[in-house]
């Protein structure tokens, strides 16, 4: 074959699009899959398959049709039982079928982290009825955060400050959950000072960490991220220790985005609280496209293909800011790129075929002498890109 490896990419959004670029630079042949045609990664891949990845039979058929060397999930919403089956047949699932199964279900990964590995997490309870939600909130105290066990990007998530809001939060979670398990996690609200993503690469040569990425979320979805973010040496060591434990438990090779909350205590101490992780590149990690010599997508591709990862990964001060749609439209266009890039920022447009409210359509990326300046530049650039909607 003219290629170094055949990769089946399950999910073809913006993260997949950058991964395709990284993998193809290393000579891979990529088949991009998603539930709709012309998805961002499909526009660059060698081949595409359009089907629901939650449909087990369809997923199995596509895997057997292409017989890839690597199956690389890009989203959570995949029939992960099929990944476990094909792994048993001898296919390689990235990073491992177990990792995709555990992280798709908040309860599975939380139980591993808190109960098996003893990581520091917020107080939590699971609930399958309103009565259990009320009992859960008794356990965590208020405010608390309610999230479907199967969801991502903040879908179905709400923060409850008064007991009277619990019923609405339960209904909202059930109405916006993915999959068929009517189950939520009731989590103690963490009054953190900042939150980070610790990109962690598990590869042939061991485990390597990127400098921590700070980020700001709204509606449970990321708005801006920056790297590096200041953190005490003790807090970085605590986060790295927890990240290593969890990626070693999940197994396989690839890049993981491990999310932590950091709360400042007395005498400038910082308490690091594990939140969750993605066994794949993380949206807040798009900043690495300009901050690191090897982006999170390059690192994922290298780890998967068994190629070397440098022992130390550095980042120059940089930031990313998202470009969001504000309404639904079947046609989309852009202007203002020149104005946006006038301050030195880079703009990435994902070329998603349709818009919906809050859908991420692009990202602005900036570097500067310090992250505060980079954040200002990226936000300013993102604000100058205009999205044009159809009638």
Ligand X SMILES: Nc1ncnc2c1ncn2[C@@H]1O[C@H](COP(=O)(O)OP(=O)(O)OP(=O)(O)O)[C@@H](O)[C@H]1O
The phi, psi pair for 302, rounded to 5°, reads: -60, -45
In the region spanning residues 91 to 130, those forming contacts with ligand X, defined by CB under 6 A, are 122
The answer to whether 75 contacts ligand GAR (rule: CB under 6 A) is yes
Half-sphere exposure of 90 (CA within 13 A, CB side): 2
The answer to whether 49 contacts ligand GAR (rule: CB under 6 A) is no
Which range, of 112-120, 193-201, 301-309, 352-360, touches ligand GAR by CB under 6 A? 352-360
Site string for ligand GAR, 144-183 (x = CB under 6 A): --------xx------------------------------
d(CA 128, CA 324): 33
Q: Is 327 annotated as a binding residue?
A: no
Reduced to 3 states (helix: H, G, I; strand: E, B; else coil), residue 144 is strand
Largest CA distance in the chain: 63
Residue 126 and residue 149 in contact, taking contact as beta carbons nearer than 8 Å: yes
The full DSSP string for 199-224 is: EEEEETTEEEEPPPEEEEEETTEEEE
Q: How many CB atoms lie within 10 A of CB 40?
A: 24
Q: Is 12 annotated as a binding residue?
A: no
Catalytic residue chosen out of the listed positions 259, 270, 296, 298:
259
β-partners of residue 258 are 198, 277
Least Å distance between CB 325 and ligand GAR?
Answer: 9
Site string for ligand GAR, 304-343 (x = CB under 6 A): ----------------------------------------
Q: How many CB atoms lie within 10 A of CB 62?
A: 20
In the region spanning residues 276 to 295, those forming contacts with ligand X, defined by CB under 6 A, are 276
The answer to whether 74 contacts ligand X (rule: CB under 6 A) is no
Kindly provide the b/e burial profile for residues 254-272, where b requires at least 16 CB atoms within 10 angstroms of the residue's own CB.
Answer: bbbbbbbbbeeeeeeebbb
270 is catalytic: no
In the region spanning residues 105 to 134, those forming contacts with Mg ion, defined by CB under 5 A, are none
Query: Which residues of this chain interact with ligand X, rule CB under 6 A?
Result: 122, 145, 147, 151-154, 157, 187, 189-190, 195, 217, 220, 259, 275-276
Residues assigned a catalytic role = 152, 154, 259, 276, 283-284, 360
Binding residues (CB under 6 A) for ligand GAR: these are: 11, 13-16, 74-75, 152-153, 283, 352, 359-360
């Amino acid at each position: 074959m003219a290629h170094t490896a055949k990769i089946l990419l399950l999910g073809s959004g913006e993260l997949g699009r950058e991964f395709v670029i990284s993998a193809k630079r290393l000579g891979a042949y990529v088949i991009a899959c998603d539930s709709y045609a012309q998805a961002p990664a499909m526009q660059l891949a060698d081949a595409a398959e359009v089907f629901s990845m939650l449909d087990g039979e369809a997923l199995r058929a596509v895997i057997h049709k292409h017989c890839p060397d690597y199956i690389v999930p890009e989203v959570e919403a995949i029939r992960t039982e099929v990944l476990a089956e094909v792994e048993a047949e001898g296919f390689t699932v990235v990073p491992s079928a177990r990792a995709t199964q555990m992280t798709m279900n908040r309860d599975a990964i939380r139980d591993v982290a808190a109960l098996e590995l003893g990581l520091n997490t917020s107080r939590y309870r699971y609930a399958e009825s309103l009565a259990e939600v009320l009992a859960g909130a008794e356990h965590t105290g208020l405010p608390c955060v309610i999230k479907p066990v199967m969801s991502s990007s903040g879908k179905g998530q709400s923060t409850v400050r008064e007991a009277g809001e619990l019923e609405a939060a339960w209904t909202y979670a059930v109405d916006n959950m993915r999959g068929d398990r009517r189950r939520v996690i009731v989590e103690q609200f963490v009054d953190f000072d900042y939150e980070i993503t610790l990109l962690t690469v598990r590869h042939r040569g061991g485990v390597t960490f990127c400098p921590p990425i700070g980020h700001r979320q709204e509606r449970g979805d990321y708005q801006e991220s920056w790297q590096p973010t200041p953190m005490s040496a003790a807090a970085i060591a605590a986060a790295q220790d927890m990240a290593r434990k969890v990626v070693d438990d999940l197994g396989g090779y690839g890049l993981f985005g491990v999310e932590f909350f950091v709360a400042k205590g007395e005498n400038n101490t910082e308490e690091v609280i594990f939140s969750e992780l993605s066994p794949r590149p993380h949206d807040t990690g798009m900043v690495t496209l300009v901050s690191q010599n090897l982006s999170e997508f390059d690192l994922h591709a290298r780890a998967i293909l068994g190629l070397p990862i440098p022992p130390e990964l550095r980042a120059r001060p940089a930031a990313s800011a998202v470009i969001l749609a504000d309404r639904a439209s079947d046609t989309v266009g852009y202007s203002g790129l020149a104005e946006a890039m006038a301050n030195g920022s880079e703009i990435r447009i994902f070329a998603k075929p349709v818009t919906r409210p809050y859908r991420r359509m692009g990202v602005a990326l900036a570097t500067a002498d310090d992250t505060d300046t980079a954040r200002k530049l990226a936000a300013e650039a993102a604000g100058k890109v205009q999205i044009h909607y159809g009638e």
